[in-house]
Structure 1
Amino acid sequence: MTLIAARPALALAYFTYFGVLGIFVPYLGLFLDGRGFDSREIGLMLAIVTATRIVGPAIWAGLAERSSKPLRIMQLGAVLACIGWLGSFIDGGFGLLLAALALFSFFWTAILPQLEVSAFLFLNNNTEQYSRIRSAGSVGYIVLVMLGGWLYQQYGSEFMPAAALAFLLLLVFCLFNLPALTPAYDATAATLSYRQMAKHRVLWIFMGAALLMQVSFAPFYGFFTLYSRDLGYSGSQTGLLISLAVAAEIVAFYYAGRIMRNRSYRLLLGICYGLTAVRWLMVALLAHSGWWLALSMLLHAGSFAIAHSCAMQFIQQIFPKAQRGRGQAIYAGLIFGGGGAIGAYLAGFSWQNGTGAVSTFVFAAGFALLACLLVLALPKKIADIA
């Protein structure tokens, strides 16, 4: 298959995947609040659900490596995620909903790492092409965020189970119509062991900084819609604010290849992480002003899009081609799963049903600042693990 023919298929897969997250991520806190859970219960549930992403990516990546069929792994994960999500339709209390969300989250982790690896390999590690195709995911996210805001105003928080399931089924359809994207690996290519990774100082620094960043993002992902509601913003206004962040993300992804060309990852990541600290302080202290809150959303271009593009390129460079799925799994599991779980658990305690919102975002800014300082310890050039 040619690149021209594959790009629409890849773009549609990213669009539907992140479209599902456009329903799930911003509105899950409102959904759980509507079911009657307090902030500690919400934080604990988000932490446990997110923790399933620690082990999930590694398990699925191992299956993909052994079978050499990442597309089948993505399809299986999407189907099982749909089945797990069905439990959200039943208002059966904390335990049942926790089990349903945990199953959904575990199966969901089968999809993105394999999609990222397949895309990079098919695009021959072309960061500029990847960033433009990845921007389709941001478009899907923004469309569903805006739709979710309208649905919340019309039907309340119980709109979420049916809306999310509808787009999960659309994702399944897209994945089953996606052509095989992963070229054959060179069987003689060098591989790496976990012992080699454990001794790699640069990898530890990068992963540590990225984990701190995910801790800092947890209050935003888990509680921002509740925060904006308590400040008097409507569901549509909240949707527009989140959509503004994703719009900035789309533009940044589109130009990420140019921005990263011949520039230091250390410098770019340092700037992105530093801007994230500023962003959370603005959310903490200036959110009563819609203009300042909107401005903070624009910083998402750096704090997520450029930072994520740098992270993807880092993994592509530091891991051998045959084991980039392992690198993606470590990044998705330990960083997004572990960092998100830690952050959600801490935020659940500090949020205090809204009375601790300001201090929670101030703490988030502190974590982002620590990440900025840590990433400055990275070398200017990154060598392969060996």
Structure 2
Amino acid sequence: MLTARYALLQSSYWGTFCLVISFASVYMLAGGISNAEIGIVLAVAGLLSAVAQPVLAGAAERSRRPLRVWIVVLGLVLAAAAVLLLVPGGSRLVTSLVYGFLIAAVQVVQPLVNAVGMDALNVGRRLNFGLARAAASLAFALIAAVAGRVVEATSETAIPLIMLGVLAVFIASAGTFVVRSDGGSHDGDHHAAASGAVVAARTSGDRARFVLLLAGLTLAMASHNLLNGFMFQLVSFHGAAASAMGVAIMIAALTELPTMGLWNRIVARWTPGLLLVVSGVAFAVKALATYLAPNLLGIYLAQALQFAAFGLLVPASVYYINRLFPPSERVKGQAYMTMTATAGSVVGSLAGGLVLQSAGVPSLLLLGVGFATVGAALTWAGANRA
């Protein structure tokens, strides 16, 4: 039952993430915003989110309020921003500001959603994190496919409308996510002791390697965001439309399902650090396959490599922090890991938008290959594989 409740929370979060991030180009292009300007909006939003994540995580760790309350408040803020997108007559500047805020805010929530699940595990509750995250990937895939077709049949106004519906589920599932330990109501207390975690002593060398790991994952996510953030332009380059973008995103999300559904078995056999290294290599292979794809079918096949890239990265990064960080620093640790995604979005979106505007799609994809290759090397050097 707890896994099902957490799956609903993860699914509604990633459904919102899909609508905000994956459909950003669709919405802003329809509002008259250029590719370069979209890249700037994505980059600035990512930068703000990267700065805000550890700050908010630190505040949440010090707060007496349960994490679920923080999540509910942030969900309401996201809903308010989505409503603003529905106000007619907004200028390009207003659209950019509101949508940029949405992009930043949805990424700030992610470490809290991950941490509330790990809290349940750390007080001894039976929760299958991988299965819950697999359900989220399925929700991501379905929402991407459905939203793509709805937008193509109607207009970009459908995006904030669908967003509000998914956010209603997210807020409700977060508000009711009260975890009971053997001693009674736990209610998302993020200061609970660990259950079976291996907390390593952190020396200056450990910290230096962790910085290398964060840098590697940031570049991997920069490559990932080049593909996801500009997927509409990529499928358009191959002569397709918004529905094809939705299919491409759906394929990637569906291939994550086996990895996340079998996560408990995978992590029992290999350490989270080793799996992060495998993920880094997979990002590089996926970027190269996308660059070499001759047509839309090639893009779809490259998207199927998601199972070893993002499919491994998400649970491995969460378990990596829970394994190696002390309980009092885990929320902040999750924020650092999530920060790699947002910092990657800054690098990928800004560089990608400028390269796309000046040199076109092939150069954009080649840049993604470069980011992912260097990222894989840094991840290998920085990950604690013990």
Fold match (TM-score > 0.5):
yes
Distance 1:145 1:197, change over 3 A: farther
TM-superposed CA distance for 1:115, in Å, is 1.9
TM-superposed CA distance for 1:211, in Å, is 0.9
Report the AA paired with residue 118 of structure 1: V
TM-superposed CA distance for 1:87, in Å, is 2.5
Report the AA paired with residue 301 of structure 2: L
Aligned to 1:346: 351
Kept in 1, the 8 Å contact 2:49–2:108? The answer is no
Distance 1:174 1:126, change over 3 A: closer
Kept in 2, the 8 Å contact 1:151–1:159? The answer is yes
| Equivalent in 115, 122, 130 of residue 113 of structure 2 | 115
User: Equivalent residue of 1:261, what SS?
Assistant: helix
Report the AA paired with residue 287 of structure 2: W
Kept in 2, the 8 Å contact 1:34–1:157? The answer is yes
CA distance in 2, matches of 1:275, 1:199: 25
Report the AA paired with residue 59 of structure 2: L
Within-5 A mapping of 1:232-271? 232-271=239-278
Kept in 2, the 8 Å contact 1:219–1:361? The answer is yes
User: Equivalent residue of 1:92, what SS?
Assistant: coil
Distance 1:58 1:289, change over 3 A: closer
| Equivalent in 267, 289, 303 of residue 297 of structure 1 | 303
Distance 1:150 1:40, change over 3 A: same
Aligned to 2:341: 336
Report the AA paired with residue 367 of structure 1: F
Distance 1:126 1:200, change over 3 A: farther
CA distance in 2, matches of 1:277, 1:107: 28
Within-5 A mapping of 1:66-215? 66-68=62-64, 69-90=66-87, 91-124=89-122, 129-180=128-179, 181-183=187-189, 185=191, 200-215=207-222
CA distance in 1, matches of 2:325, 2:223: 26
TM-score (norm 2): 0.88
| Equivalent in 312, 321, 331 of residue 318 of structure 2 | 312
Aligned to 2:237: 230
- Overall identity of the aligned pairs, in %: 19
CA distance in 2, matches of 1:40, 1:331: 27
Aligned to 1:364: 368
Residues 28-66 of structure 1: CA deviation (Å, up to 9, x unaligned) = 111111111111111111111222211222232123112
Kept in 2, the 8 Å contact 1:52–1:102? The answer is no
Distance 1:186 1:171, change over 3 A: closer
Kept in 1, the 8 Å contact 2:2–2:127? The answer is no
TM-superposed CA distance for 1:207, in Å, is 0.7
TM-superposed CA distance for 1:143, in Å, is 1.4
TM-superposed CA distance for 1:89, in Å, is 2.3
User: Equivalent residue of 1:37, what SS?
Assistant: coil
TM-superposed CA distance for 1:345, in Å, is 0.3
TM-superposed CA distance for 1:304, in Å, is 0.2
CA distance in 2, matches of 1:265, 1:54: 23
Kept in 1, the 8 Å contact 2:282–2:308? The answer is yes
TM-superposed CA distance for 1:218, in Å, is 1.9
User: Equivalent residue of 1:376, what SS?
Assistant: helix
Question: How many corresponding residue pairs?
Answer: 370
TM-superposed CA distance for 1:351, in Å, is 0.4
Distance 1:271 1:287, change over 3 A: farther
CA distance in 1, matches of 2:111, 2:139: 18
Report the AA paired with residue 209 of structure 1: G
Aligned to 2:26: 30
Aligned to 1:277: 284
